[in-house]
């Protein structure tokens, strides 16, 4: 058994999916977004669990991610959201993967590929309404319709846009984006281009704009048990499928004033017990993204957090959990070792602690144990860097 591992509760993922479906507008479908290796939970495992709940559409960013799902038996709709390139298209279209098209030249190249192989290619059009990343703008419609009329092998499955500020309180920008999207579709329709699937909502928009659910919603964050921001917490009840755990690998009693770790930035305030856990920044632990303030109040919070951090006081951050109690990290997090100050709590080598490890940063090398339908299984990682590659299941007898 490893000293550091992750447990992923797929029953919680399934629960979250059912919660989403319970407030979905009638006649609308959920496309589960499983990009970023299923938001760190494991794309293949999450997709399979959601299939059991009746989910039939999945989205990822790259063709590689889409092919990984196909190789593992996901036969349903898979949409590639990100801009892809001609080097990936042959494989994608042979595997029946839907591509997002956001540039005119792509239609010509795709049509040529499809004609040569004598197959139909399913695409979704990306409409640029204010995200400023990719997509067709309204002034490109005439050229777009022109290109499409010369592309008999291309089938339009849908058209979508992506909101930039749906998680914010102010709804103005999202409404503008939605208006631009609808006006784009209206022009397409007037020019004879039919769009079967219309979709605009991510998790935040799904919760705040039920009138925009249209034919489909694209949900990632909520399925993973997270909220787009704290203000959404009372809108849905979700379960957290993720827990990272480490074993205590060393214990020592020390007197008051003992310096700990690099640069001795921590000194024990009393006689205490120090424990070492085998986790560090090489595992993605203690590496936090740099937060850019979203306004003056936010800036204040960030400044206060940083000042508090000078005295090793962690504000608004999850602590290490040991025997149900919250424990301080003592000193700097190392490459693969971290010291915790357990105080008066009784503690032995081999005891387990729960650690706040961000799922998208967790090194895929860390072993994972999955729970589904109340059974536990483990995934063996054969190819590093891609968790869901070559998975092999070995049932654990109730670990
Ligand atoms: C990531 C993504 C989503 C899902 O967003 P969540 O807020 O995580 O639900 C939807 N659409 C697009 C285009 C995305 O890139």
pLDDT for the residue numbered 376: 82
Ligand 1 centre from 339 Cα, in Å?
Answer: 37
Ligand 1 centre from 219 Cα, in Å?
Answer: 6
Superfamily the domain 242-366 falls into = Lyase, Ornithine Decarboxylase; Chain A, domain 1 (2.40.37.10)
Atom of ligand 1 nearest to the CA of 39: 8
pTM of this structure: 0.89
What CATH number is given for 9-229 in this structure? 3.20.20.10
As averages over each run of 10 residues, the pLDDT of the chain (399 residues) reads 91 98 97 96 95 97 96 95 93 96 95 94 97 96 96 98 96 98 98 97 98 98 96 96 96 96 92 96 81 79 80 66 93 93 96 94 89 80 41 33
Atom of ligand 1 nearest to the CA of 223: 9
pLDDT for the residue numbered 391: 35
Return the residue matching tokens 């208006």: 179
Q: Domain residue spans in the chain? A: 9-229, 242-366
CA distance 197 to 216: 7
Pocket test for ligand 1, best of 33, 222, 228 (most atoms within 8 A of CB): 33
CA distance 196 to 239: 34
pLDDT for the residue numbered 386: 41
CA distance 143 to 346: 72
Residue positions annotated with a catalytic role? 35, 262
Pocket test for ligand 1, best of 60, 162, 223, 225 (most atoms within 8 A of CB): 162
Atom of ligand 1 nearest to the CA of 218: 10
Question: Parallel, antiparallel, or unpaired for β 272-277 and 338-343?
Answer: antiparallel
Ligand 1 centre from 33 Cα, in Å?
Answer: 6
pLDDT for the residue numbered 398: 31
Q: Quick one: DSSP state of residue 74?
A: -
pLDDT for the residue numbered 399: 31
CA distance 8 to 41: 7
Atom of ligand 1 nearest to the CA of 162: 13
Pocket test for ligand 1, best of 59, 100, 212 (most atoms within 8 A of CB): 59
Task: Give every CB contact of residue 281 below 8 A, 6+ residues apart in sequence.
Answer: 287, 333, 334, 335
Ligand 1 binding pocket (C-beta < 6 A) is 33, 35, 81, 162, 202-204, 218-221, 228
């Amino acid at each position: 058994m490893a000293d550091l591992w992750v447990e992923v509760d797929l029953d919680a993922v399934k629960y979250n999916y059912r919660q989403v479906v319970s407030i979905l507008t009638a006649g609308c479908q959920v496309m589960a977004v499983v990009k970023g290796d299923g938001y760190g939970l494991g794309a293949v495992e999450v997709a399979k669990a959601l299939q059991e709940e009746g989910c039939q559409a999945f989205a990822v960013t790259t063709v590689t991610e889409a092919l990984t799902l196909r190789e593992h038996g996901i036969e349903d709709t898979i949409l590639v959201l990100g801009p892809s390139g001609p080097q990936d298209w042959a494989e994608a279209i042979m595997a029946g993967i839907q591509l997002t098209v956001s540039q005119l030249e792509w239609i010509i190249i795709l049509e040529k590929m499809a004609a040569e192989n004598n197959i139909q290619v399913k695409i979704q059009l990306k409409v640029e309404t204010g995200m400023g990343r990719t997509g067709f703008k309204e002034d490109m419609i005439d050229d777009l319709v022109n290109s499409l009329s010369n592309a008999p092998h291309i089938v339009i499955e849908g058209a979508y846009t992506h909101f930039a500020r749906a998680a914010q309180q102010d709804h103005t920008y999202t409404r503008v984006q939605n208006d631009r999207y609808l006006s784009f579709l209206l022009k397409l329709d007037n020019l004879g281009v039919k769009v079967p699937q219309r979709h605009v909502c991510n998790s935040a928009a799904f919760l705040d704009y039920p009138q925009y659910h249209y034919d489909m919603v694209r949900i990632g964050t909520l399925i993973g048990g997270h909220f787009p921001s704290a203000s959404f917490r009372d809108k849905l009840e979700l379960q957290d499928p993720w827990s990272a755990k480490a074993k205590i690998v060393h214990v020592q009693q020390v007197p008051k004033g003992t310096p700990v770790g690099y640069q001795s930035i921590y000194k024990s305030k009393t006689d205490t017990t120090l424990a070492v856990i085998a986790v560090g920044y090489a595992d993605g632990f203690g590496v936090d993204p740099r937060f850019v303030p979203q306004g003056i109040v936010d800036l204040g919070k960030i400044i206060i957090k940083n000042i508090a951090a000078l005295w090793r006081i962690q504000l608004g951050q999850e602590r290490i959990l040991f025997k149900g109690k919250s424990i301080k990290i003592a000193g700097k997090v190392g490459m693969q070792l971290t010291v915790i100050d357990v105080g008066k709590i009784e503690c032995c080598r081999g005891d387990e602690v729960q650690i706040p490890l961000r799922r998208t940063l967790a090194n895929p090398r860390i072993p994972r144990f999955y729970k589904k339908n109340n059974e536990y299984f483990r995934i063996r990682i054969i190819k590093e860097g891609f968790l869901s590659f070559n998975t092999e299941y070995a049932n654990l007898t109730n670990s």
